[in-house]
Structure 1
Amino acid sequence: MSPNVNRVRVIALYKELHRLGRDYPDASYDFNGRMRRMFERNRHLTDPEDVEKAFKLGEYIKNETLALYSLRKYRALKRMYPEEGA
């Protein structure tokens, strides 16, 4: 892929992770700060394989964070509607 296409993909991923980080439940973890440092550390990657590997890691983090949010919503709903007869 050309560097411009990779740049657009990475910036879009960064924005998505930043938006997800706003709602991260653990304030002491500093999700957005860690995410920013991760992107800064990989800023100078030029090898296409290394860039793709770092991008896949970012996608994995995004998917795991979305799963965490879904689980949090599920648990909140479960608390709101206790089981009958339990």
Structure 2
Amino acid sequence: MSTNPTRLRALALYKELHRLGRDYPDPSYNFNGRMRKLFEKNRHLTDKDEIEKALKLGEFIKNETLALYSLRKYRHLKRMYPPTSLTEL
């Protein structure tokens, strides 16, 4: 049984995005449903360049989602402390 490294990368990316989608702040956006549709839409790809392009898009979405979560955590921490001056209001 041979393992395709591209397939393994796609599965790992899908798994990571699915885990990130659990904590997505807006439940009405349906992050996991949209992500699944994108993966199913690209299921038929056979050209290595197109597959690589789709994987890079998935990595971009993953990084942007992680940045969104970091920003959300930062904003929460900022709200926990009182402003130090009147300009921060």
TM over 0.5: yes
Question: 2:19 matched to which residue of 1?
Answer: 19
Hey, what's the Cα distance between the residues in 2 that align with 1:27 and 1:61? 17
Alpha-carbon RMSD: 1.4
Q: Computing the radius of gyration over CA atoms, which structure comes out larger, 1 or 2?
A: 2
* Percent identical: 74
Secondary structure of the 1:23 match is coil
Hey, what's the Cα distance between the residues in 2 that align with 1:33 and 1:11? 16
User: C-alpha displacement at 1:84, in angstroms?
Assistant: 1.8
TM-score normalized by structure 1?
A: 0.94
Greater RCO (CA < 8 Å, at least 6 residues apart): 1
Hey, what's the Cα distance between the residues in 1 that align with 2:61 and 2:71? 15
Hey, what's the Cα distance between the residues in 2 that align with 1:82 and 1:35? 38
After superposition, give the CA deviation of every residue in 1:43-65 in whole Å (9 maximum; x if it has no partner). 01000000000000000000000
User: C-alpha displacement at 1:83, in angstroms?
Assistant: 2.2
After superposition, give the CA deviation of every residue in 1:5-64 in whole Å (9 maximum; x if it has no partner). 000000000000000000000011000000000000000100000000000000000000
Unaligned runs of 5+ in 1: none
Question: 2:7 matched to which residue of 1?
Answer: 7
Task: In structure 1, give the amino acid aligned to 2:58.
Answer: G
TM-score normalized by structure 2?
A: 0.91
